[in-house]
Every structure is written in C-alpha cells, then in structure tokens.
C-alpha cells in the first residue's frame, strides 16, 4: 500500500510511477477521496467545538432563568450531535473508500526497471550451465518412458478434474527427495529458519501480502471463509502482521515447504499438458523481513540462494530482470530464474524472487523500532521460490533423460533415494 502523505506531497511523481504500470492520472482520484475525507473530519471537529461551546452555555442560560435561550441551546446541542455523527460516518466511508482504492494500486517499481509491455522485454542478467548436446530427440517430462508409470493424469482428472496429477512410486519419491534436499540446503547451509505454517488463512492475511482485493479470482476460498494459500509467502510474511519489533530482531529469514493452490485464472489453454501449471503444487518458499537499508542486498542474496539450488542439481538456468510490464503487483524489483527444459527447447520460470520494499509492511502495519530511538518505521519484505518442487522435478527428469527412456538423477539426490542413482526405463529406481 502507498503512503498518502507522499502522494499529497508529490502527486506528479506518483502519477509517473503509476503510468509505468499502465495507469494514468491516479492521483486525481486518490486526492479527491483524501480531500473529501479530510474535509468531513475538519467539519466534524468544528461541529464538535460548536457543540461543546453550546453545552457550556446551556447551564448558564438555565441558571439565569432564560428559558428561550435554554431551549435554543439544547436544540443546537442536539442538532450538532446529529451533524457530528453524520459527518463522522461520511468521513469513515470516505476513509474506507480511500483505503480500498490504495489497496488496489500496485507498488512503485525501482527506477532502473526496464520499460516493456510483457516478458519479451525482460533483460537477461546471467546464465549458468550449458544444456546437454543430445543425440536423440528429447521428450517432455510426461513422455519419458521411465516417468510414465509414476505420473498419472487420467486418475487425477477422475479425482479432481484438469490440472492435477497423481505421482506414485519412484516419481513420488524423487519429488519428495527434491523438497527435502531444498529444505536441508536452505537450513543447514543458508541459515534460514525452517517454518511449518497453515495452508488455510484469514482474508486479512491475503490483504496484507497483496493477493486481495484485486486478485481474489486467482485463489481458492472455502465456504467457511478461509483462503487456501497460493504460496507460503502469505503465511511467512504475515508473521509480523500488526507487530512493532525491535531493530535487532531483523533480519528474519524463513523457509517453508507447503502445498500451494492457485486457480490459474486467465491461463486457459496454457501449459495444459504435463504438470507445469497445476491447481495444487508444492513449493519451498523463502521469505525475508529486513531493515529498509538491507532490502536491496537481501534481494541479491535470495536470488543467489535459489540459483545455488539449481547449480547443486546440475541444471542449466538463466536469471532475468523483469521489465515494467511483467513485474508483479507488489514488487519493487523481481528476478525470475528460468531453468532449461530440453523437452520444450526453452527456458521456463522455476523461481521468482521479489523485493517488495515497504509495500507489504504498510499493508500489514508491520514496523520496527530503531535502536537509537525514534518513530517506528515499516519493515521491508522479500519473497522467492527456493524452489517450485514440481517444476524442479520436471527439470530433473527432462535434463537427465537418456535415449532408452531412463533418467540419470543428480548426485545431490542420491542420499535421499537410498543410494539410487537413476530412474530406469521401467519406472523403478536403480
């Protein structure tokens, strides 16, 4: 959310920032509501002062036996009471309307974000690893002979409909091994705090991280009012919702492995084959809550942690800086990490690491108290996949595939698989 004071002080700068998001003259609407709200508050304060003055005069008029003045003042006090109630109600309504508007406005991007309408204008920052030269036509993950027995879309469709999968046998075990490897790496090597959180959350939590109110159609809500998390970003970030923490509490660096749920609204017809785009999937999510002075360096740090997982798995990838038209609603700056998928002959996103600045902190009213004293300030928050487990499974299977339909598995997974090193063409671990 945005600071209304900054919009008042420099509406032109705010409009310039919003125009990069494809929104024009936003400050006019914001300031009209703000002026209405402030005018109602000022009028209510004036009416309150008038009522208080009249109330003091009521007693004097009664003591003087001036019944006509007494009745006039009593009527004035009653009228002012009604006027104050009406003005306060109108101010409250204007305040709610202003807050709702501010909650739908995207974050201000960093000045150096490249301009562009969509992902075609993203800027590649670096590449790591070289795709294998294959002497056979590579298959997509769901077509590999050794994968087919353990990846069942037909049964999943019978159980739940489209965009679900049933994993079994060796494939389920590799999937589980990947999540365990990611968690162990982030906890034992990267120093993140492992956290287990609910996947059902209250509406205020999605408001805090920016999924609501604008993107409600992208998430699932239960009949009881809970929402299913689209990622553990929601729960991990909201740990500090409504808190004022001491400065020495920061930074906080969390990691969680959870089920995630997305309706994939707007993605009809995209990635319908295989398990690239699912309604239910797993992620190992990283969240950092930091001092404002640390968020830029923390963004680079978190990007490096996600990249390191891919490096340890021996998977080729590239890291890109998202352009203005592709940067998410709550982000100041986002790095996407794209893994090479030989079956598609292209790089596909496997992690998105975003610096949200104070945007979520302000929405959550999450602040820290400076060590040297002074007014509490909003924390900065960052989030990123470390990694998406299902997409990593896809990448491992496609990059390790052999001509006979078997799959060579990354060395770092061997100890999680009981010393097994490959998926045979018959779908068993060997």
First-residue to last-residue Cα distance in the chain: 53
Q: Which residues are annotated as a binding site for L-serine?
A: 231-233, 262, 285, 383, 385
pLDDT of amino acid 69: 79
pLDDT at 70: 80
CATH topology of domain 119-423: BirA Bifunctional Protein; domain 2 (3.30.930)
Query: According to the model, what pLDDT value does residue 52 have?
Result: 87
What is the CATH number assigned to the segment(s) 4-103?
Answer: 1.10.287.40
* Dihedral sign from CA coordinates of 399, 402, 406, 409: negative
- What is the reported pLDDT for 324? 98
Residue 265 has pLDDT above 80, yes or no: no
Lowest mean pLDDT among 39-48, 58-67, 215-224, 326-335: 58-67
**Binding site membership for ATP: which residues?**
262-264, 349-352
Model confidence at 182: pLDDT above 80: yes
Provide mean pLDDT across the span 269-283: 89
Predicted local distance difference test score (pLDDT) of residue 74: 79
Q: Are 386 and 186 in contact (CB under 8 A)?
A: yes
What is the mean pLDDT of the segment spanning 352-360? Answer: 98
Instruction: Supply 257's token pair.
Output: 């492995």
Record the pTM: 0.93
Map tokens 């097994």 to a residue. Answer: 420
Mean pLDDT, range 10-38, rounded to an integer: 97
pLDDT at 104: 96
Token reading at 425: 């063409």
Half-sphere exposure (CA, 13 Å, Cβ side) for 302?
Answer: 36
pLDDT digits 0-9 by tens, 69-102: 788 887 898 899 999 999 999 999 999 999 999 9
pLDDT at position 325 is 97
CA pair distance 417, 69, nearest whole angstrom: 92
Inform me whether the pLDDT recorded for 300 exceeds 80: yes
Could you tell me the residue ranges of all domains in the chain?
A: 4-103, 119-423
Predicted pLDDT at 424: 98
pLDDT at 387: 97
**CB-based contact 319:340 (threshold 8 Å):** no
Mean pLDDT of 336-342: 98
Closest CA to 349 of 360, 358, 338: 338
Average pLDDT of 295-310? 98
* Binding site residue list: 231-233, 262-264, 285, 349-352, 383, 385
- DSSP string for residues in 16-61: HHHHTTT--SHHHHHHHHHHHHHHHHHHHHHHHHHHHHHHHHHHHH
Evaluated on CA atoms 282, 286, 321, 366, the torsion sign reads positive
């Amino acid at each position: 959310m945005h600071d209304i004071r900054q919009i008042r002080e420099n509406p032109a700068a705010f409009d310039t920032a919003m125009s990069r998001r494809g929104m024009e003259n936003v400050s006019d609407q914001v300031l009209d509501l703000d002026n209405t709200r402030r005018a109602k508050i000022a009028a209510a304060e004036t009416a309150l002062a008038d009522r208080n003055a009249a109330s003091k005069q009521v007693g004097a008029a009664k003591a003087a036996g001036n019944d006509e003045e007494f009745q006039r003042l009593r009527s004035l006090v009653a009228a002012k009471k009604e006027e104050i109630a009406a003005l306060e109600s109108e101010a409250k309504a204007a305040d709610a309307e202003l807050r709702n508007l501010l909650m739908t406005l995207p974050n201000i991007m960093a000045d150096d974000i490249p301009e562009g309408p969509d992902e075609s204008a993203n800027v590649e920052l670096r590449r790591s690893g070289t795709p294998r030269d294959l002497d056979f036509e590579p298959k997509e993950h769901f077509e590999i002979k050794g994968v087919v027995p353990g990846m069942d879309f037909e049964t999943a469709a019978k159980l739940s409909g489209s965009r679900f999968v049933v994993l079994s046998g060796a494939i389920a075990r590799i999937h589980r091994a990947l999540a365990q490897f990611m968690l162990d790496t982030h906890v034992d090597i990267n120093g993140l705090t492992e956290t287990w959180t609910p996947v059902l959350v209250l509406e205020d939590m999605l408001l805090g991280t920016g999924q609501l109110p604008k993107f409600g159609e992208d998430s699932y809500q239960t009949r009881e009012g809970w929402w299913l998390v689209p990622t553990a970003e929601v729960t991990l970030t909201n740990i500090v919702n409504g808190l004022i923490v001491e400065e020495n509490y920061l930074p906080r660096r969390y990691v969680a492995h959870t089920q995630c749920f997305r309706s994939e609204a707007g993605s009809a017809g995209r990635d319908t084959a295989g398990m690239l785009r699912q309604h239910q999937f797993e992620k190992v999510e990283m969240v950092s809550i930091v001092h404002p002075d640390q968020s830029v360096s923390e963004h680079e740090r978190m990007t490096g942690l996600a990249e390191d997982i891919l490096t340890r798995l021996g998977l080729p990838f590239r890291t890109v800086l998202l352009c203005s038209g592709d940067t998410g609603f709550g982000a100041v700056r986002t790095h996407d990490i794209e893994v090479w998928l030989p079956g598609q002959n292209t790089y596909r996103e496997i992690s998105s690491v975003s610096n949200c600045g104070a945007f979520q902190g302000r929405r959550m009213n999450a602040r820290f108290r400076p060590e040297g004293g002074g007014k509490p300030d909003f924390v900065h928050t960052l989030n990123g996949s470390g990694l998406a487990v299902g997409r990593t499974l896809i990448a491992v299977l496609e990059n390790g595939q052999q001509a006979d339909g078997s799959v060579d598995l990354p060395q770092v997974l061997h100890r999680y698989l009981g010393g097994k090193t490959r998926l045979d063409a018959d779908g068993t671990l060997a």
